[in-house]
Amino acid sequence: MTTKEPNGLPTKILLQTTIEPQEDDWNINRFSLLRDHLAGLRDSKGQPLYEVTARDREAPAGQDDPVLSRLDRSDFDELWLFAVDTGDGLNKKEAAAIEKFWNDGGGLMITRDHQDLGSSVLLLGEPGSFHFFHSKNNDPDSTRCAIDDTFTTTISWPNYHSGNNGDYQEITAQEPLHDLLKKPGGQIEYFPAHPHEGAVGVPACFPDAQVIATGKSKVTGRPFNLAVVYEKPGSDGSNSRIVAESTFHHFVDYNWNLDNGCPSFLGEKPGHGIKDDPAKLDDIRQYVGNIAAWLAPTNRA
């Protein structure tokens, strides 16, 4: 998928974490491969499709970030929110601005990780409802409120084991095949793996949301949701679109290239699948380009 706004200008994407800059954490510099890939995508005339801004919070938790707290009044078209906090990464003013941004036709991609990591997204109201956590907004299927990854004992559910960091996981595309999973000549088959992914699903408030891809636990063999999408038509002809992802590890540098390193607290032994077969990374590159194109607003002031 390659699109451009009707005025021919690049779509403006904000890549945003929910923490202040911290060297030994999942700061925005650890998403540099994603940033560079999106910024490098071109249309048929060789013009950039996307103008990408990548940033961490500029204010401590509880204080207003100057960009997030005014997002609804910004000229950004898409927000890719990497909720890497332990629960306090957003405040009410920021959450209200993000929710209004979405309701006004802005595109949202929201992702988190295991257990309660990134649970600040629940402040977003409807846009956060696609994410299920340990301490709040549990998966409505109570049988899923159970440990899946039994190797990292310091992490509890949801913690689906899709494989080691540095490996691939084979995904199962759900029918009907969504545009996000299409690639020239076929469909996307591989995502980066992670030992303990979080949980996303169809919330009660949006029963017509669509699970587009599932993975399979390497420990229990249980299938689990990887990505959910939803599109809410607006009265002014705009479409409020959202993509909910089970883990930010689908997008982070370390899971695309182990040589880029990771924070010191990540103790799991990595795999070598991506190093052995780097060509399969083309699937995730195609996927993120598809997300950017699909989230681009069709009618937003």
Mean pLDDT calculated for residue range 201-211: 96
**In the chain, what are the domain boundaries?**
11-295
Which pTM value belongs to this model?
0.96
Comparing C-alpha atoms, which of 33, 37, 85, 35 is closest to residue 55? 35
The DSSP string of 28-80 is GGGGHHHHHHHHH-B-TTS-BSEEEEEE--SS-TTSPPTTGGGGGGSS-SEEE
| pLDDT per position as a tens digit, 172-196 | 999 999 999 999 999 999 999 999 9
Mean pLDDT calculated for residue range 45-72: 96
| pLDDT per position as a tens digit, 88-145 | 999 999 999 999 999 999 999 999 999 999 999 999 999 999 999 999 999 999 999 9
CATH of domain 11-295: 3.40.50
